[in-house]
A and B are shown apart, each in its own frame.
Chain A
Amino acid sequence: MSATGNTAPLIDIERGMIAREIFSSESIFQQELETIFTRAWLFVGHESQIPNPGDFFMSRMGQESVIVARDKRSKVHVFLNSCRHRGMRLCSADHGNTSLFTCPYHSWSFTTDGKLFGVPQFKNLYEGCLDRAEWSLVEVAQLEVYKGTIWATWDPAAPLLATYLGDAKLHLDMTLDCRDGREGGSEVLLGVHKWIIPCNWKIAAENFLGDSYHNPSHRSVDLIGIGPSAEYGVKGRRDNELETAQHLWISFPAGHGVHSAQMQADMAEPETYQNNSVVAEYFREANRRRKERLGAEANRLLPFVGTLYPNTSFHGRQPRNLCVWHPHGPEQTEAWRFFLVDADAPQEVKDFLRTYYMRYSGPAGMTEQDDMENWNSATAASRGVIARRHPYNYQQSMGRSTRNGPTPGNTALQMSEENARQYYRRWSDYMGGADWDTLLGKKD
């Protein structure tokens, strides 16, 4: 299949079937890089990682390395991490502070706002030939900072981030906002988890999109209990606060999907974080203030998990983080996880949370190890010649979603693969080079 291959026949939303090929084909992967990762809004980092002028953080967009930098005047930029002369990587440190990005090859240097600054022997070799102003670093078409998170797109025609997120923004908000309901205020802990998973990036994205059906795969941690109250004898991998809630599987026109939960209206505040009485008290107080600030009705909705199209996922609560599934190849993904805490939380609370995050999340986390194992074999299973003749089943709760749910979005009150169906409907549109109205679901 060429880079403009027609992938529409691979996605049969009406019948709930998706070809295995999209998880293993090299040419489809290449087409994704060209049609999805050049247009969609991608999460690249968090302001708390670059607090000062000159600070930078090396990130990725699609398969390419980018520099997220704060310039001398404190403005945030995202540049392709590649010298304009012969392409050398300008930045090899994961993060740091600098006044210039100097190329190791022939020493061109660029300022933190991307301007070509130094060209060795300019007078002799380039005077009259090279217009410095034309050779700034390649910068993203649009960049937005939203409640600390930094997003970028290569498409000048892409809609504003808020439009792109649509009603899914509410769920991102609940992840980024302070536990007591104040807007924003989160920070990323030093130490982004980065690891290589032998799986297709969409399998990870889809897992967070609302695949709650995979709960049984986490039986081992649920049996032993590793949650924030586990030392207090509570089983499970997190506190039971969502046990009596109405769970919601919500898909959004632009392809995003979340699994959220709405608490019972008259429900008593559940006891959480019982391993540590200081932390338990901190959250009791935060919950009380959140209710006061948002009002009893809005306070009922709690963040859980979700994926913002195409490859940014979040865990909104226990644990709390943002993850990016960087595509490396059809069968390889580089996962990055950024762990969040309220910036103004007491150190004891932050310490408690990061200890919980470490035992829960990522390749060393007891819960997610089992995810990785499954994603790995699902990818491998998408490769076989015979296997590829048999599509995957996406029929769960077909026709059971409603636009009249308790919150905006197409909502299922029972476990549903509607989020995935919508995600792949959009995937198909991106692959076909659709216009932004289509990509935002305005033509659905």
Chain B
Amino acid sequence: MSDVQTAQKLRPSADYFTLRGEVEEFLYDEAEILDTRDFKGWLDLLADDIRYFMPITFNVKFGEHGDKERTRTEKDMSWFNEGKWSLTKRVEQILTGVHWAEEPLSRCTRLVTNVQVTGVRDSEGVEELSARSRLLLYQNRCEYEQTYFAVRRYDKLRRVNGGLKVCERKIILEQTVLLAKNLTVFF
């Protein structure tokens, strides 16, 4: 049974809302952790085998949106396509205090909405949820610099020791030319 079928079967049962509530709490906690700059705490929310992916988006002619609008995880260059090792490096870099693009630190506020559970899967005895959400990230730097990122997120969340960890995150930023000078924030 596909993820969507499973989720449709769940919805709108009490079980579905319980599960969604749990995912919402998790994503809100994550936003709070990042907004309050507990970067190491954020790493703890990520599975060791996480894939963190943000493709580059192209202008394509009608009819090519399905398969040609974005770069793929394989073979192509993207904005992000990495695992926990380099995400940890990014955190370490901020914590050096001399990462000039984050010194002084950006002030960020994350609004998480449109949270839905789209699938529940048993992966070798471990529960894995598919969830999607929208994130509006407000970033302010120094005096006058501000950027809004509105992204769609497609997550896979794994149940570990009763809690959840992100094991896959696909982030869709709807810009072909990045209209921000940097992507120093976590989505």
* A226 interfacial by beta-carbon distance below 8 Å: yes
A190 touches B71 (CB 8 A): yes
Residues of B within 8 A of A94 (CB): 58-60, 176
Nearest neighbor of A321 in chain B, beta-carbon distance: B77
Shortest Cβ distance from residue A244 to the other chain B in the assembled complex, whole angstroms: 26
Interface residues of A in 207-224 (CB under 8 A from B): 217, 219-221, 223-224
A430 within 8 A of B: no
- Secondary structure class of chain B's binding surface, majority of residues: loop
- Residues in chain A near residue B98, CB distance under 8 A: 219-220, 223
What 1/0 mask marks residues of chain B from 154 to 187 whose CB sits below 8 Å from any chain A CB? 0000000000000000000000111111111000
Contact between chains at A195 and B100 (CB < 8 Å): no
B40 interface residue per 8 A CB criterion: no
Chain B residues with CB under 8 Å of A189's CB are 75-77
- Quick one: which of B75, B96, B100 contacts A373, CB cutoff 8 A? B100
* Contact string against A for B residues 73-113, beta-carbon threshold 8 Å, 1 for contact and 0 otherwise: 01111111110011001101100101111100000000000
The answer to whether A358 touches B80, judged by C-beta atoms less than 8 angstroms apart, is: yes
Indicate if the CB atoms of A93 and B59 lie closer than 8 Å: yes
Residue B81 contacts which of A93, A192, A231, A355 (CB distance < 8 angstroms)?
A: A355
Give the CA-CA distance A66 to B91 in the complex, in Å: 40
A198 contacts the other chain (Cβ, under 8 Å)? yes
Contact A364 to B77, CB < 8 A, known contacts A221-B93, A224-B96? no
A338 to B97, CA, bound (A): 30
B85 to chain A, nearest CB (A): 7
- Tell me the complex Cα distance, A231–B183, Å: 23
Residue of A nearest to B94 (CB): A220
A402 at the interface (CB under 8 A from B): no
Docked complex Cα distance between A355 and B85 (Å): 12
Docked CA distance A350–B78 (Å):
14
A413 lies within 8 A of chain B by Cβ: no
In the complex, the chain A residue whose C-beta lies closest to that of B54 is: A364
Chain A residues near B59: list those with CB within 8 A.
58, 92-94
Q: Check if A364 sits within 8 Å of B96, measured CB to CB.
A: no
**Shortest distance from the beta carbon of B89 to any chain A beta carbon, whole Å:** 6
A93-B60, A191-B56, A197-B181 known; A339 vs B77 contact (CB < 8 Å) = yes
Asked if B60 and A364 make an inter-chain contact with CB atoms under 8 angstroms apart, the answer reads no
* In the assembled complex, B64 has its CB within 8 A of some CB on chain A: yes
Contact assessment for A190 and B76 in the assembled complex, using a CB-CB cutoff below 8 Å = yes
Nearest opposing residue in chain A for B90, CB measure: A366
Interface membership of A363, Cβ < 8 A: yes
Q: Are B80 and A364 in contact (CB under 8 A)?
A: yes
Specify which chain B residues have a CB less than 8 angstroms from the CB of A276 in the assembled complex: none
A366:B76 contact, CB within 8 angstroms: no
Within 8 Å CB of B55, what residues of A? Answer: 191
Q: Answer whether A226 and B86 are a contact pair too, CB < 8 Å, given A93-B61, A372-B101.
A: yes
**Chain B residues within 8 Å of A197, by CB:** 181
Within the assembled complex, what's the spacing in Å between the Cα atoms of A190 and B72?
A: 9
Tell yes or no: A383 within 8 A of B by CB: no
The answer to whether A193 and B56 have CB atoms under 8 Å apart is yes
Complex alpha-carbon distance, A198 and B90, angstroms: 23
Question: Contact between A191 and B182 (Cβ–Cβ < 8 Å)?
Answer: no
A370 close to chain B: CB less than 8 A? yes
B79 closest partner in A (C-beta):
A364
Chain A residues lying within 8 Å of B176, measured Cβ to Cβ, are 94, 194
**Cβ–Cβ contact A363 & B178, under 8 A:** yes
Whether B178 contacts A194 by the Cβ 8 Å rule is yes
Distance of A81 Cα from B180 Cα, bound (Å): 25
- Closest-CB distance, B167 to chain A (whole angstroms): 19
Is B99 within 8 A of A364, CB to CB? no
Inter-chain contact B89/A358, CB cutoff 8 Å: no
Q: Which residues of B contact A334 (CB under 8 A)?
A: 177
B residues 19-47 near A (Cβ < 8 Å) are none
CB neighbours (8 Å) of B86 from chain A are 226, 359
Name the A residues within 8 Å of B183 (CB-CB): 363-364, 369
Contact of A191 among B64, B71, B179 (CB under 8 A): B71
Query: A269 to chain B: closest CB distance in Å?
Result: 27
Residues on A facing B (Cβ under 8 Å): 58, 92-96, 189-198, 217, 219-221, 223-226, 230-231, 334, 339, 347, 350-351, 354-355, 357-359, 362-364, 366, 369-370, 372-374, 376
By a beta-carbon cutoff of 8 Å, the part of chain B in contact with chain A is 54-56, 58-61, 64, 71, 74-82, 85-86, 89-90, 92-93, 96, 98-102, 176-184
Known: A189-B75, A193-B56, A363-B181. 17 other contacts (CB 8 A): A58-B59, A191-B55, A192-B56, A192-B77, A193-B77, A194-B178, A195-B180, A217-B100, A220-B98, A220-B100, A224-B96, A358-B81, A359-B86, A366-B93, A369-B100, A372-B182, A373-B101
What are 6 A-B contacts with C-beta separation under 8 Å? Answer: A220-B93, A224-B89, A339-B77, A351-B75, A363-B178, A364-B183
Q: Which 6 A-B pairs have the closest CB atoms?
A: A191-B77, A195-B178, A369-B101, A220-B99, A364-B183, A191-B71
